[in-house]
A and B are shown apart, each in its own frame.
Chain A
Amino acid sequence: MLPVLQLGPLALQLPGLLILLGIWMGLSLAEKFAIKRHFPVESLYNLVFSALTVGLVGARLGSLLQAPQAFWASPLSLFSLNPALLDPISGVAAGLAASLWYGKRNHLPGWATLDALTPLLAMGMLGLALAHIASGQAYGAVTSLPWSIELWGARRHPSQFYELAAATLILLSLGRRSQQADAAAGSLFAIFVALTAGLRLFLEAFRGDSTLLPGGIRSAQVLAWLALAAALVLLHKLESSARPPEARLKGN
């Protein structure tokens, strides 16, 4: 666990740095993929830049809407550099809205765009897993298994390392899948969502910080199951529509 990297007088927040590194590496992977699929690289960069910028502004505004009286007492805080004053849900919502707006305005093909963004998303997940290792967040449940690690006062599942292994596995699977030139548009994205949701559903069981629903059900697993179901339905639809008409008529 290394939440802060001290370089002389400079204290760098390592988790944030690792997420940024994941985004940067993800963007260069996405660029390579886009070139291979003849997707306009400039549009991809503009889309991501718009999403990140609007997402950042949205995250701060979300924070303002949640505690207006706190900002009223100190209006200059709106421009503070504190990452803790960024609301992640508002940020993601604003980023998605900006992406949709940019994509519509520039007539980008929806499924092909999502496919082009998939390497970035997969690399981002890897960055997030590394950030969790650095910060010690997303910690595991208490266990006596031989590979348990000492963290936060107990022997625990090394859930952050499980997360890293899952993210690596997803990235490798997608790398293999992306070689298939005849894959239906959108299928790479659907596979990414299915794998991410499926592995989250499985690995959440080893987490020690799950938010619980009545009956002790882990809320993240329910959300992951819904995402998995949506991704599998989408995958089935995409694969069925990609089959040649004669094959569809024969049913094979």
Chain B
Amino acid sequence: MKFMQPEKKFVFYGMILLAGLLWIGASAIPSSASTTQEISAPQTGFLAPDFSLTTLDNQPVRLSELRGKVILLNLWASWCPPCKAEMPALERTYQAYKDQGLVVLAVNSTIQDTRSAAQTFMEANQLTFPVPLDTQGEVTRLYRVQSLPTTFFIGPDGMIREVVIGGPMSEALLRSRVENLLKEVR
């Protein structure tokens, strides 16, 4: 633009800004347009994919039936050191907020673990939250888990609010996210 005279350049800049304003108006999303809310995907801003599993205590769990509660969905295995390291913080958070509407689902990726190893770990560490068993790897695949642990914070509307890949998560991280989501329930 070195060839352009300053006055012409000033007009050119003005035209760019005007075109920008028009583009903002043209690309506005009409209120009738559909959003991502109807699509389920393991990503922030999407509906959490539904699943149905059985826990270590042989209780059936279906994610969609927990709508209206704050859900902390944690995928783990007993051989995974960061998974084990974050479990005490997970238990303390569960104890602190379970009466306010927090549900912790610590889905054991049983397809790459064993039921007995998961049971022994839970008992040895006095962990009390429900542990659904992903024996067929359905949830591991559905949530595209590439690394353990992976944690999904799900709001009362069933939408994924945050995904944390890897660990161990600190207790402050767990508490801050859960407290924010519980404000929507209260």
Interface string of A173-217 (1 = CB under 8 A from B): 000000000000000000000000010011011001110100111
A77 to chain B, nearest CB (A): 3
Per DSSP, chain A at the interface is: helix
Interface residues of A in 194-252 (CB under 8 A from B): 198, 201-202, 204-205, 208-210, 212, 215-218, 221-222, 224-225, 228-229, 232-233, 235-236, 239-240, 243, 251-252
Residues of B within 8 A of A154 (CB): 39
Interface residues of A in 127-173 (CB under 8 A from B): 136-137, 139, 152-154
- Give the interface size bracket for A toward B: 35 or more
Residues of A within 8 A of B28 (CB): 215-218
Chain B residue, CB-CB nearest to A229: B17
> CA–CA, A36 to B177, complex, Å?
48
Would A139 and B172 count as touching, CB distance under 8 A? no
| A74 in contact (CB, < 8 A) | yes
Would B146 and A252 count as touching, CB distance under 8 A? no
Quick one: which of A13, A205, A243 contacts B23, CB cutoff 8 A? A205
A22 to chain B, nearest CB (A): 20
| B6 in contact (CB, < 8 A) | yes
B77 to chain A, nearest CB (A): 13
Residues of A within 8 A of B39 (CB): 152-154
| B175 in contact (CB, < 8 A) | yes
Chain A residues at the B interface, C-beta cutoff of 8 Å: 2-4, 6, 11, 13, 63, 66-67, 69-71, 73-74, 76-78, 80, 82, 84-85, 136-137, 139, 152-154, 198, 201-202, 204-205, 208-210, 212, 215-218, 221-222, 224-225, 228-229, 232-233, 235-236, 239-240, 243, 251-252
Chain B residues at the A interface, C-beta cutoff of 8 Å: 5-7, 9-10, 13, 16-17, 20-21, 23-31, 33, 36, 39-41, 43-46, 89, 96, 146-147, 162, 164-166, 169-176, 179-180
Q: Which 5 A-B pairs have the closest CB atoms?
A: A77-B172, A205-B27, A67-B176, A80-B170, A74-B171
9 A/B residue pairs, CB under 8 Å, sorted by A: A4-B147, A13-B166, A82-B169, A152-B36, A153-B39, A198-B16, A205-B23, A236-B10, A251-B7
